C-alpha cells in the first residue's frame, strides 16, 4: 500500500515537472513568436511610411509628365503659326517640352531588410507579399525610362538655349522654370518636332505607369494596415 502511495506521489511530481517544463517552453515559444511578429509589424509600418512618401513623389511626377506632354502637343499643333503667339507663351511651352523630367528615388532598404531577416515569411496576407515583390521589381524599369527621357532632354537643350532667353527666374508650382521667352525667328525645324514627339511618347507611357503605380500603392498601404492590425 505504501509502495503504491510512493509511486503515485512521485508520478504526480514527475507529471507536474513535465507540465511545468512544457508550459515554460510553450511560453518561450509564444514570446518568441510575439517578438518576431512585433519586429515584422515595425518593419511593415516603416514600409507603409515609405509608400506614403512614394505616393507624394508619384503624384508630383504624374503632374510633371502631364505638363511636359501637353506642351509638346501644343508645339506640334501650333508650330506652323508659332510666331503669331506671344513670345512668353511660346518660350514657356518650349521650356516645358524640353526641360521637364523626373528622377525616381528608389528606396528599397526597408523592403530588403524585411526579406533578408526572414520576417517577410511571417506576413499572413499573401497579397501583401506579392504586391511588395511586384512593386520593387518594376523600380529598375522606371529608372531606365527616366534615363531615356533625360538623355533626350540633353540632346534638345541646345535648341532651347539658342532660341529662348531667360528674362525672369520664376518657377511654377512644381519648381520648374517658367521665365523664358522665345527669341527665334522661324518655326521649329521638323526633325526637332519629331524628336519632341518621340519624347512625348515616353512622357505619356511613363505617366500611365505612374497612374497605375499610384493606384496599386494606395491599395498596398491599406493591405499593410490590415496586416499590422
User: What span, in angstroms and rounded, lies between the C-alpha atoms of 21 and 13?
Assistant: 12
| pTM of the predicted protein model | 0.84
Cα 141 from Cα 220, distance rounded (Å) = 20
Q: Which residues pair with 164 in a beta bridge?
A: 182
Domain boundaries, the chain: 2-228
What gap in Å lies between CA 91 and CA 77, rounded to an integer? Answer: 15
Whole-angstrom Cα distance, residue 189 to residue 163? Answer: 12
Mean pLDDT of each 10-residue bin along the chain, 229 residues long: 59 60 56 71 92 94 97 97 96 96 86 88 91 91 92 92 93 92 94 96 96 96 93
Show Cβ contacts of residue 109 under 8 Å, excluding neighbours closer than 6 positions: none
Q: Coil, strand or helix: which one is 202?
A: helix
Alpha helices by DSSP H, 79-138 = 87-99, 109-116, 126-137
Amino acid at each position: 500500500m505504501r509502495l503504491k502511495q510512493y509511486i503515485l506521489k512521485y508520478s504526480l511530481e514527475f507529471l507536474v515537472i513535465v507540465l511545468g517544463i512544457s508550459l515554460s517552453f510553450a511560453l518561450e515559444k509564444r514570446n518568441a513568436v510575439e517578438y518576431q511578429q512585433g519586429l515584422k509589424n515595425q518593419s511593415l509600418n516603416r514600409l507603409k511610411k515609405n509608400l506614403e512618401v512614394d505616393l507624394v513623389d508619384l503624384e508630383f511626377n504624374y503632374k510633371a509628365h502631364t505638363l511636359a506632354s501637353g506642351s509638346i502637343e501644343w508645339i506640334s499643333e501650333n508650330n506652323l503659326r508659332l510666331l503669331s503667339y506671344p513670345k512668353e507663351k511660346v518660350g514657356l511651352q518650349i521650356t516645358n517640352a524640353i526641360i521637364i523630367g523626373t528622377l525616381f528615388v528608389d528606396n528599397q532598404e526597408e523592403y530588403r531588410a524585411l526579406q533578408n531577416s526572414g520576417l517577410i515569411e511571417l506576413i499572413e496576407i499573401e497579397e501583401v507579399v506579392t504586391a511588395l515583390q511586384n512593386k520593387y521589381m518594376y523600380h529598375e524599369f522606371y529608372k531606365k525610362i527616366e534615363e531615356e527621357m533625360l538623355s533626350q532632354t540633353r540632346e534638345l537643350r541646345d535648341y532651347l538655349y539658342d532660341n529662348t532667353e531667360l528674362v525672369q527666374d520664376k518657377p511654377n508650382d512644381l519648381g520648374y522654370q517658367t521665365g523664358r521667352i522665345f527669341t527665334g525667328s522661324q518655326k521649329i525645324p521638323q526633325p526637332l518636332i519629331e524628336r519632341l514627339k518621340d519624347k512625348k511618347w515616353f512622357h505619356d507611357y511613363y505617366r500611365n505607369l505612374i497612374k497605375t503605380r499610384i493606384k496599386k500603392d494606395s491599395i498596398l498601404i491599406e493591405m499593410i494596415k490590415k496586416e499590422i492590425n
